[in-house]
Structure 1
Amino acid sequence: MSTALLADGGAAREWLIGHGLNLTILWDPADGRRFLLGLALTLALAGLSIVLSLAIGVAGAALKGSRFAAGQKTVAAYVEVFRNTPLLAQMYFFFFGVGSLLPMVVNEQGEQVRLLGSFGWAVIVLGLHSGAFQIEALRGSIDAVPRSTVEAAEALGLNRLQIFRQVVAPLALRNSLPALSNSIAQTIKATSVAFAIAVPELTYACNRIWSDSFNVPVMIQILLATYLLLIGGVSAFMRSIERRLQLPGGLPA
């Protein structure tokens, strides 16, 4: 149903309200727009955070497996900090702590604002938080590639880069897909924490709607159902990739 689809459908609207379904997002244009904007921001926040976390995961896994002791220690410290502190505390630290140190700029409305807003900080924090888990997933998958396979590639005359690109990386990718799928689902759920720094994502939008329309039970169910559909769709997509990339003779995904 599009926004305000039931705006003129008095009978249907009254029937829904009479059955305890005060779905203002269907007949109130303002509530409908707030809900759709919140959904769009949640998708954008999740997508950007997942891309950032994957980039961090690849770079971190490469550094952790390198011969540079300083790089290994830096990655290890980063992983420990972000895996062992609450996401909400990280969000507050970067937004209120680090964010307050940034210079002020003038926005399009002529107002003085910080250089980086709440949406930008939410993307960075979610990416950093999820990236710590991606590093461990990717590094573990790389280490799981049998040494005999690498030695066979060396015997064929492949150099280190060719071995990684043509042998280790494809096998590691297959090994890491279940962990990556779980991390992506966790990132989508974690977008709701951006509510704490006033990013108008899905949870924030639903909170404003039920505060104004007094339909808390209905909007909470809508909120949970929306997240369930989002994460269920992503999980189904990732499972299909796992099945497509499954090696012959391997265990079924």
Structure 2
Amino acid sequence: MNLLFLGDVVGDMGCDILEKKMYSLKQKYKIDLVVVNGENSATGNGLTRYSYQRLVSVGADVITTGNHCFKRKEALPLYDENDTLLRPANFPKGVPGHGYTTLDLGYCQIAVVNLMGTTYMEPLDNPFFCIDSVLDEIDARNIMVDIHSEATSEKKAMGFYLDGRVTAVIGTHTHVQTADEMILPKGTAYITDAGMTGPELSVLGVKSELAIEKIKYHAPVKFEESENPCFINGVVIDFDENSGKANKIIRIIER
């Protein structure tokens, strides 16, 4: 089977390019399942009902998130209403939603897990202990993990920690695609960051002059989405649905 994972979708323009390109992407790579990180899909980041519906309409089977998952109050009910919209599993008990879902395709089951790192980020539950508990609950050979984390070392450590236990570990959050896609020794596909889907000539999707002003002067700046042409970053993972082992991971950039 082939799974398409797309890095953080940024704003309306990120959704726009998916509307234009998703069909051809699925045809080109013979995609069976699409997972998209949508935590920045609303204008100004976060996720809204409108941006959620746009991602679903272009073909996202599962939508993962991260530290901005609860930024928009209007989105909170969505996490309980939709099994395929995830927030990180290591959020405290009592928050809306759930951290993993299992899709039953008839001939196989595929689980998608959403985790968030804690290095340089919010002090959530330890993601390593959390994933151990989640894996005890999942009854599926094919397991895809989105680790939404700032530190490359934390994502790399999670990859090796889960090698042979899951089908793929895919990093998100930094919006910059890394060139370290690989199949780990025990058969798990890995990449430190899938990148982003949004304006290419930008600072993580934001107008570069605004990001420079913020970093240079440390003063409050209202970020605005860049209006430059977009690109799509992600990976395609070819895996054996009977064993749960990955055969190949291909890093993609579509302009």
Task: Provide TM-score, normalisation by structure 1.
Answer: 0.21
- Report the structure number with the largest CA radius of gyration: 1
As a proportion of its length, which structure holds more strand? 2
Higher relative contact order structure (alpha carbons within 8 Å, sequence separation ≥ 6): 1
The structure with more helix, counted as a fraction of residues: 1
